């Protein structure tokens, strides 16, 4: 069971959530990505994967190599602050890139503004409290889909929403089973992620 919980924590890493969300929209709601379509969506998906996962992971690896942090898992609360700051910058740069260089619609822009704000807020909270970013990532996905389902009520997003509910349950269960977080740390992370993501669509789109 510990192996399974660890596997879930890696496969459903919070840094993969932007890529997963864009993939879900590609499959279930391609209309939401207009004017992006065709092969361009695959290039955008790759760009999101590189800027929101690969680059942040390599920055954390660099911090581990220089012994600035003691573990890639960032179990120590104080050691999380610098990596989270870097990730906030990377997410902000991705948002700026999409806004100024790539022709995307306001929905996708709102998603990345919300993601950047969420990471920045988690960084600030981490100064005082060890919050679960895995849970925040899961809540973020659910919040985005809830808001998008209100914008596109006729679309078939129910299957995707059910998938996210299952993913959220797996992530929270895994983090609690591994004793990586207390219940308060996990549930507060989930609530903050859900709230910020939902409001970013509701207020900005």
Q: What is the pLDDT of residue 72?
A: 86
What mean pLDDT comes out for the span 16-33? 91
Q: How far is CA 47 from CA 41, 53, 86, 124, 126, in A?
A: 10, 10, 18, 27, 28
**What are the helix (H) ranges across the chain?**
2-11, 17-28, 39-49, 55-65, 77-100, 106-126, 133-151, 158-177, 183-204
Q: What is the pLDDT of residue 202?
A: 86
Q: What is the pLDDT of residue 156?
A: 76
pLDDT tens-digit series, residues 118-146: 999 999 999 999 999 999 999 999 999 99
pLDDT tens-digit series, residues 75-124: 899 999 999 999 999 999 999 988 888 878 899 999 999 999 999 999 99
CA angle 31, 36, 42 (to 5 degrees): 105
DSSP 51: I
Give the whole-angstrom CA distance, residue 193 versus residue 106: 20
pLDDT tens-digit series, residues 168-188: 999 999 999 999 999 999 999
Give the whole-angstrom CA distance, residue 138 versus residue 189: 9
Q: How far is CA 12 from CA 66, 82, 84, 135, 168, in A?
A: 26, 22, 18, 10, 9
Give the whole-angstrom CA distance, residue 161 versus residue 67: 40
Choice among 17-21, 56-60, 70-74, 108-112 with the minimum mean pLDDT: 70-74
What mean pLDDT comes out for the span 182-205? 93
Please provide the average confidence, as pLDDT, over all residues in the chain: 92
Q: What is the pLDDT of residue 140?
A: 95
Dihedral sign from CA coordinates of 182, 140, 20, 49: negative
């Amino acid at each position: 069971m510990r192996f399974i919980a660890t596997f879930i924590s890696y496969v459903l890493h919070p840094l993969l959530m932007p890529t997963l969300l864009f993939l879900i929209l590609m499959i279930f709601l391609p209309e939401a990505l207009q004017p992006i379509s065709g092969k361009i969506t695959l290039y955008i998906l790759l760009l999101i994967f590189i800027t929101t996962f690969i680059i942040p992971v390599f920055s954390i690896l660099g911090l581990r190599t220089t012994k600035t942090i003691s573990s890639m898992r960032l179990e120590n609360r104080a050691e999380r602050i610098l990596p989270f700051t870097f990730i906030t910058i990377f997410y902000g740069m991705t948002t700026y890139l999409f806004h100024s260089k790539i022709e995307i619609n306001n929905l996708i822009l709102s998603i990345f503004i919300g993601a950047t704000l969420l990471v920045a807020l988690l960084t600030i909270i981490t100064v005082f409290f060890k919050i679960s970013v895995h849970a925040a990532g899961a809540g973020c996905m659910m919040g985005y889909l809830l808001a998008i389902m209100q914008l596109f009520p006729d679309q078939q997003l129910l299957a995707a929403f059910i998938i996210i509910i299952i993913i959220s349950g797996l992530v929270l269960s895994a983090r609690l089973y591994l004793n990586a977080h207390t219940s308060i740390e996990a549930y507060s992370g989930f609530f903050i992620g859900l709230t910020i993501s939902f409001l970013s669509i509701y207020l900005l789109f």
